[in-house]
Structure 1
Amino acid sequence: MIVNERQTPEGLLVAVCDEAVLGETFEGEGISLAVTEEFYGGETVDEDVVVDSLARATVANIVGTEAVELAVENGFVDEANVLEVGPTLHAQLLWL
């Protein structure tokens, strides 16, 4: 998986995606999702690093079946809130 962390005035923004979806655009039910290098590109890491990054995130965008399932399994995202966008999954995380 690929992780990109950015510090913003509102906190830590984390973008996570499966390697296979980077550079792809997905369409589904009125949604278009572009997994751009600019936003999602970053360091290729293992699952432990992804979990650590999500644990520290204030906001996270997660794309790809593997990445979203990892976020669900570790309690960051409720499965009921996962979107299917074409053949992939997308979820967002926001801690208030």
Structure 2
Amino acid sequence: MIVNERETQEGLLVAVCDSDVVGETYEADDLSLTVTEEFYGGDEVDETAVVESLARADVANIVGTRAVELAIEEGFVDEANVLEVGETLHAQLLRLY
């Protein structure tokens, strides 16, 4: 998986995606999701590093079947809030304090 972390005015933004979805566009009904290198590009990491990044995130965007499934398994995302966009999954995390 690929992780990109950046500090924003809203806190730590983490973008996570499966390695094979970068550069792809997924569509479903009126939704279109393009997984750009600019936003999602980052370091190839293992699942432990993904979990550590998500644990620190104030905001996260997660794309790809495995990445979203890991976020669900680790309790970061409720499965009921996951979007199926074409052939992939997308979820967002917003931590409110």
TM-score, with structure 2 as normaliser? 0.98
Q: Secondary structure at the match of 2:38?
A: helix
Q: Which residues of structure 1 form unaligned runs of 5+? A: none
Cα deviation 1:39-61 (Å, max 9, x = unaligned): 00000000000000000000000
Alpha-carbon offset, residue 29 of structure 1: 1.8
Task: Give, in whole Å, the separation in 1 of the partners of 2:33 and 2:79.
Answer: 19
Which residues of 2 match residues 16-95 of structure 1 at below 5 A?
Answer: 16-95=16-95
Q: Secondary structure at the match of 1:48?
A: helix
Structure 1 residue identity aligned to 2:43: E
Task: Give, in whole Å, the separation in 1 of the partners of 2:87 and 2:79.
Answer: 16
Alpha-carbon offset, residue 9 of structure 1: 1.3
After the TM superposition, which segments of 4 or more aligned residues of structure 1 sit over 4 Å from their partners?
none
TM-score, with structure 1 as normaliser? 0.99
When the two structures are aligned, how many residues end up with a matched partner? 96
Cα deviation 1:18-71 (Å, max 9, x = unaligned): 001010000002100000000000000000000000000000000000000000
Q: Which residues of structure 2 form unaligned runs of 5+? A: none
CA RMSD of aligned residues (A): 0.4
Q: Secondary structure at the match of 1:77?
A: coil
Task: Give, in whole Å, the separation in 2 of the partners of 1:48 and 1:71.
Answer: 11
Alpha-carbon offset, residue 10 of structure 1: 1.0
